[in-house]
């Protein structure tokens, strides 16, 4: 699939992105500092995000969704991250992990039951990680035992994004450990289920308004018809969903980097030293020119991966590359923005200090940088080995 330019948007895409960015600047920006300090999302923003239509971008209109593209979901994540990466990942998980998972794997009855709620009021979480299963995701210990017409889940999940706000959780558990990863099954678990509770909320370095929690399952009974997909295909669901989710994290890190450059440039243009704007000094020029170049490269990779996904073409390598590069660029850009702004960049009064803290998670969640490199290497090697 070819395009005049990968970063060129259609009129519809541009209008959508502009609308999300306007919401972020008008509604989110005034609340960012306090949300970061409190370590919690302002609940008034959640209803606003649903009204804006960014909590169910790809969900069909018959369920109340926007019936748009994966690419538009990525644009929403990028636009929100320009202002607050915490709100960005809140929307990202809802779309690229939870809704995508339901759209791809749920039965017709499950879609009818859950998608209207996901499009109007319910927040979702994706519960795969555990204390002993991070990069080795299939080493999970949460078990599911069949008792009559129910499954009983027991275990603990860690690092669950949106855990404090979610009403629906996609929980991965093993139904038969003798089968290894082929015993892993995905379940749709509602917050009010007996035996289910949200545990400790992590006190994090960055993206503090985004809740990251523990989930506790103590003989949690789940109806048999709440199995997502088939029993034993949870490993496949997890792999395929996370491949898409990595593009979302790439978009989050891209938006963060763009936000860092925006703040730094506005400051440097206005800041005068020795009779001229500090943005005019060559020592500064070379640094922000390099930053802008790297951001453009990251945007090309993120947009390309999203376009490939929408076109139904292979995108696993491109998604890994996009997440890898974008997380690197975000960390470098946020760090440089602090330096370019000097003393004020080091204070909490200016946004770049927060963006610097927020950037670090990009190399860690939804697949560490080393895991992205391993994925890329495997695909590249395979291409050469197979001629």
Q: What is the residue extent of each domain of the chain?
A: 11-123, 125-232, 235-385
Question: Is 353 annotated in the active site?
Answer: no
Above 70 in pLDDT, residue 3?
A: no
Report the 3 state secondary structure along the chain. CCCCCCCCCCHHHHHHHHHHHHHHHHHHHHHHHHHHHHCCCCHHHHHHHHHHCCCCCCCCHHHCCCCCCHHHHHHHHHHHHCCCHHHHHHHHHHHHHHHHHHHHHCCHHHHHHHHHHHHHCCCEEEECCECCECCCHHHCCCEEEEECCEEEEEEEEEEEECCCCCCEEEEEEECCHHHHHHHEEEEEEECCCCCEEEEEECCCCCCCCCCEEEEEEEEEEEEHHHEECCCCCHHHHHHHHHHHHHHHHHHHHHHHHHHHHHHHHHHHHHCEECCEEHHHCHHHHHHHHHHHHHHHHHHHHHHHHHHHHHCCCCCHHHHHHHHHHHHHHHHHHHHHHHHHCHHHHHCCCCCHHHHHHHHHHHHCCCCCHHHHHHHHHHHHHHHHHCC
Above 90 in pLDDT, residue 62?
A: yes
From the candidates 214, 318, 353, 366, give the one annotated as an active-site residue.
366
Query: Is this model's pTM higher than 0.75 or not?
Result: yes
Q: pLDDT by residue (tens digit) across 231-280?
A: 999 999 999 999 999 999 999 999 999 999 999 999 999 999 999 999 99
List the CATH code of the domain at 11-123.
1.10.540.10
pLDDT band at 5 (very low <50, low <70, confident <90, very high): low
The reply to whether 235-385 shares the fold of 11-123 is no
Report the CATH fold assignment for 235-385. Butyryl-CoA Dehydrogenase, subunit A; domain 3 (1.20.140)
List the CATH code of the domain at 125-232.
2.40.110.10
């Amino acid at each position: 699939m070819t395009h005049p330019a990968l970063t060129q948007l259609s009129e519809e895409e541009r209008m959508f992105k502009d609308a999300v960015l306007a919401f972020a600047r008008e509604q989110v920006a005034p609340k960012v500092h306090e949300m970061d300090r409190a370590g919690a999302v302002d609940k008034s923003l959640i209803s606003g995000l649903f009204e804006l239509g960014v909590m169910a971008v790809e969900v069909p209109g018959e369920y109340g969704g926007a019936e748009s593209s994966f690419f538009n979901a990525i644009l929403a994540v990028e636009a929100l991250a320009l202002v607050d990466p915490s709100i960005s990942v809140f929307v990202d998980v809802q779309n690229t992990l939870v809704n995508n998972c339901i759209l791809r794997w749920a039965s017709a009855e499950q879609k009818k039951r859950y998608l209207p709620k996901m499009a109007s009021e319910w927040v979702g979480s994706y519960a795969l990680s555990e204390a002993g299963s991070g990069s080795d995701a299939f080493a999970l210990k949460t078990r599911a035992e069949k008792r009559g017409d129910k499954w009983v889940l027991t275990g603990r999940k860690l690092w669950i994004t949106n855990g404090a706000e979610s009403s629906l959780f996609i929980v991965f558990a093993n139904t038969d450990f003798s089968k290894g990863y082929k015993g892993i099954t995905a379940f749709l678990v509602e917050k009010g289920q007996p035996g289910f509770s949200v545990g400790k909320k992590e006190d994090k370095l960055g993206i503090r308004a985004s809740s990251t929690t523990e989930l506790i399952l103590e003989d949690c009974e789940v109806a048999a018809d709440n199995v997502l997909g088939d029993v034993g295909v949870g490993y496949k669901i997890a792999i395929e969903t996370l491949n898409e989710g990595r593009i979302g994290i790439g978009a989050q890190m891209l938006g963060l980097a763009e936000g860092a450059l925006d703040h730094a440039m506005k400051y440097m243009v206005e800041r005068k030293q020795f009779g001229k704007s500090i943005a005019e000094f060559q020592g500064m020029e070379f640094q922000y020119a390099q930053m802008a170049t790297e951001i453009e490269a990251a945007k090309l990779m993120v947009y390309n991966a999203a376009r490939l996904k929408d076109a139904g073409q292979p995108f696993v390598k491109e998604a890994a590359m996009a997440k890898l590069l974008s997380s690197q660029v975000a960390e470098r850009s946020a760090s440089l923005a602090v330096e370019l702004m000097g003393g004020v960049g080091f204070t909490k009064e200016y946004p770049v200090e927060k963006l610097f803290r927020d950037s670090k998670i990009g190399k860690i969640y939804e697949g560490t940088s080393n895991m992205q490199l391993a994925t890329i290497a495997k695909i590249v090697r395979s291409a050469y080995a197979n001629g």
